[in-house]
Structure 1
Amino acid sequence: MVADSGPHLSDLGRAFRLDPEVLQILRDGLPQVATHTVNAVVAEVPDYRGARDGLMRDTITGAVRMALAGFLKLAGRGHDVDPSTPMGPTIEGAYALGRGEARGGRSMDGLLAAYRVGSRVSWRELGRVAAGAGLSATMMAEFAELLFAYIDGLSAASVAGHNDELTTSGLVRQRYRDRLVQRLLAGASPEVLTAAAERAGWSPSVGLTAVLLPSAQAHGVVALLGTETLQFAEDLPGSEGWDPDRSLTLLLVPDATAADRRHLLRLLVGRKAVVGPSRPWMQARSSYRRATRTLELATPPRGEQPTDSEDHLADLVVGADPEALIDLRVQVLRPLSALPESTRERLAETLLSWLLHQGRREQVAAELHIHPQTVRYRMGQLRDAYGERLHDPRFVRELILALPLCCRH
């Protein structure tokens, strides 16, 4: 519901009061005035040119008749209407017209043009009838002032209705989109996801890429990415491990090609974002999970570049089961367990470098900043501890997986 359009209408209505006889003459001519006004609107306003008959014509006719009847009620106050009675029904009708335009996906341009045409034609027709009824020049000027102020009030009510409908429908659409994201993250069935997308008014894309970033940065990014980007910020895991002072927002960004991904990464430069892989839209949960795992394992970017999960695949694979990795570390270091911890760490570091440099002693020495003879001495200790297992490909693989964890300081 909307209130009266403003005190100016009531004030003018009280100051200007038509004689009952003139008022009745105007009422008798109202059907003809309405017909001329409707014909002019349909002929002159492009948005309504197709309304020669049918539902739209009926809607326009009803709106014009209600508006004209409301105006005569305003002009006749003091005779047959309580002056304190608001112009509620007429204002409500104008408000509903604005909401209807928004629901139909139309801007206010057409309706405001219709108001302009309607005010011109209705003044011409009503003025002609009023002049024929003997209204003085002063009264005619006040009559015109009241009519145009009245039309302005109706226009304002329609604009308010249009804005309110857009706001309300936007909130409703966002709620449906939130539910769509929830179902995507829950791995719902294709039937459920298709229905959810339809209710949300969202057109499925070829693929979706999950992006996690601070909520404060999300709005600006969505403005760059477009309205088909889905966003969700409720109860997202991982934010406490990355930035405890800021909440995270999930964006599901439509994409189709590698070029789309490169464009996305460029847009995210300078933002603390983590980007998952592209996945078919019904498998967006996979991209989200990858992004959250990258968030947990990777250090958030402090420079200009976002964190791309594609650059951390090895870390993700190795860190898939942290407890298993710890157990593997204990297992591969067991032959060194009798040594002091500092010695054990130095030997583990040397062994990892030896394996990665494929036994090139000079390169190992350069990386560890030690003498090549020190490398030879340490490798002698390691061969004594591990024996032929250092030539077992399977055990070497286990060493390469576990030793980086041992050698992190």
Structure 2
Amino acid sequence: MSHAIERASELALNEKTVTALRSVLRTTADEVVQAIIDEVPSYANALSGRMGGTIRRAVRTALGHYLDLAGGTTTGVDASEAAYELGRGEVRDGRSMDALLSAYRVGARVAWRGLAIGAVSAGLPAAEVAKFAELTFAYIDELSAASAAGHADELAARGLAHERHLEQLARDLLTGASSEVLLAAAGRANWPIPTTLTVVLLPAAQARPAFRSLSPGSLVLDDLSDGLGVLLVPDTDRSHLLRTMKDREAVVGPARPWMRAAASYERAVRARSLSPAIRDTEDHLVELVLTADPDAFTDLRTRALAPLRALPAATAKKLEETLRAWLLHQGRREEVATTLFVHPQTVRYRMGQLRDLFPDLSSPKRVLELTLAVGLAAP
């Protein structure tokens, strides 16, 4: 039992006074509700009809409980618990704590006015009226505090539930769940559906701090394997996102339609495995393409560069380097020589050797195959 409720019994109001006060309860409850409607905008349309009647009964019950205590009657009513549940209900109805506290302030003022009239008319001595006022306001303050606690607890519970729904949505997106699953998850999380999502992969410890700098609607997970975290950023300006991640160990995947966010995640994961230095996957598409299927790339190199295998290793390496530079510089001998730090005549000589080894070097198909085969340095 609360302190104010315990002290209510100190009044020991006589039966005549309690009866007089009870006679004004109904009118007082009506006046309290009307004053709240008039003075607290959030309740202007909320306390009409059935809801208004419910609140009037709640006011009468709370004040009646107080009068029972003040008159020395033991009651099984738990007004604090009812006030706590009222606070939780206000969250469900979409009203703020400020609105609820304003309603309590207005209600306390109007309730005391009605009770004071009843107390004075019953002949309660002035000293007792003063004590009655003090304890009445203390009682209503404690009910207000109980409602505030209920309001805060409901917000916390809803916040936790909402966060869990958002985390589940993020997991469903990363695993490539079906459109039906994703739409249902987005609905449960009350998540505004974007056009695209861009995945950012980074150390788990950096995920939450980075998340706080992102736009609303972003999603975060910081419990992936290997100590990694992930951000899913909606409809972002890529340049801005890269600047935001500049000082973090982040890999930024491509923007993808929101239901295909898993593709952005997979590319970021592969880019990170390719090199810890990669930050923007869009700057490394060649490497990503050529390493997408390591076995296929190895088979391609083996077949395309087979003529070099019969040569001494040092010679084969020099000719492969020359072939790569020749293909990338489209046969411009001076540029090839500059790239390889050799004389142009050396380039001419090596290219003669290569043409002997690859008689079809002018074939577009052969050029494409060789370009892919030597597109990356030999492993």
Fold agreement, TM-score > 0.5: yes
Q: Deviations over 1:53-93 (max 9, x none)?
A: 313312321331232123224434xx3228xx8xx721122
Q: Aligned pair in 2 of structure 1 residues 217, 106: CA closer, same or farther (>3 Å)? A: farther
Match of 1:304 in 2: none
CA 1:290–1:62: 2 relative to 1, 3 Å: farther
Distance 1:342 1:154, change over 3 A: farther
Give the 3 Å change call, closer, same or farther, for CA 139–295 of structure 1 in structure 2: same
- Secondary structure, in 3 states, of the residue corresponding to 2:237? helix
Give yes or no for contact 1:348–1:406 (8 Å, CA) kept in 2.
no
Query: What does 1:116-155 correspond to in 2, within 5 Å?
Result: 116-155=105-144
Q: Do the aligned residues in 1 keep the contact of 2:297 with 2:373 (CA within 8 Å)?
A: yes
Quote the sequence identity (%): 51
Cα distance in 2 between the residues matched to 1:151 and 1:58: 20
Match of 2:99 in 1: 110
Correspondence 1:8-407 to 2 at 5 A = 8-51=3-46, 53-76=48-71, 79-81=72-74, 89-235=78-224, 240=226, 246-249=227-230, 251-255=231-235, 260-300=237-277, 307-384=279-356, 386-407=357-378
Where structure 2 has 5 or more consecutive residues not aligned to the other structure, the ranges are none
Distance in 2 (alpha carbons) for counterparts of 1:286 and 1:16: 72
C-alpha change, 1:58 and 1:281, in structure 2 (3 Å) is: farther
Q: Which amino acid aligns with 1:284?
A: A
Q: CA deviation at 1:364?
A: 2.1
Q: Give 1:400 shift.
A: 1.8
SS of residue matched to 1:252: strand
- Does 16-25 or 123-132 show the bigger shift? 16-25
Alignment match, 1:243: none
Looking at structure 2, the residues matched to 227 and 60 of structure 1 have their Cα atoms a distance apart, in angstroms, of 37
Give yes or no for contact 2:197–2:233 (8 Å, CA) kept in 1: yes
Contact 2:47 2:55 in 1 (8 A): no
Q: How many residues align?
A: 379
Equivalent position amino acid for 2:325 in 1: S
Q: Does the 8 A contact of 1:102 with 1:162 survive in 2?
A: yes
Q: Is the 8 A contact 1:349 1:407 kept in 2?
A: no
2 CA distance for matches of 1:215 and 1:55? 51
Once the two structures are overlaid, the 10-residue window that deviates more, 96-105 or 371-380, is 371-380
Where 1:81 maps in the other structure, the secondary structure is coil
> Are 1:181 and 1:232, in contact at CA under 8 Å, matched by a contact in 2?
yes
CA contact (8 A) 2:287 2:376 kept: no
Q: Distance in 2 between matches of 1:100 and 1:226?
A: 31
What is the CA distance between 1:52 and its match in structure 2?
5.8
Contact 2:307 / 2:358 at 8 angstroms: preserved in 1? no
For the residues of structure 2 that align with 1:300 and 1:148, how far apart are their CA atoms? 66
Secondary structure, aligned partner of 2:359: helix
Deviations 1:77-111 (A, max 9, x none): xx3228xx8xx721122112221221222211211
Q: Distance in 2 between matches of 1:114 and 1:175?
A: 33
Alpha-carbon distance in structure 1 between the residues aligned to 2:57 and 2:274 = 65
Distance 1:38 1:104 in 2: 17
Relative to structure 1, the CA distance from residue 326 to residue 169 in structure 2 (aligned partners, 3 Å threshold; closer, same or farther) is: same
| SS of residue in 2 equivalent to 1:299 | coil
SS at 1:144 equivalent: helix
Question: Residue 180 and residue 387 in structure 1: after superposition, are their counterparts in 2 closer, same or farther (change >3 A)?
Answer: closer
Aligned-residue RMSD, C-alpha: 2.7
Would the aligned equivalents of 1:329 and 1:406 in 2 still touch at CA under 8 Å? no
Give the letter aligned to residue 267 of structure 2.
R
1:227-273 per-residue CA deviation (whole Å, 9 max, x = no partner) reads: 3223334546xxx3xxxxx4212x22221xxx733443343332332
Tell me, yes or no, if the aligned pair for 1:329 and 1:403 is still in contact at 8 Å.
yes
Distance 1:52 1:154 in 2: 19
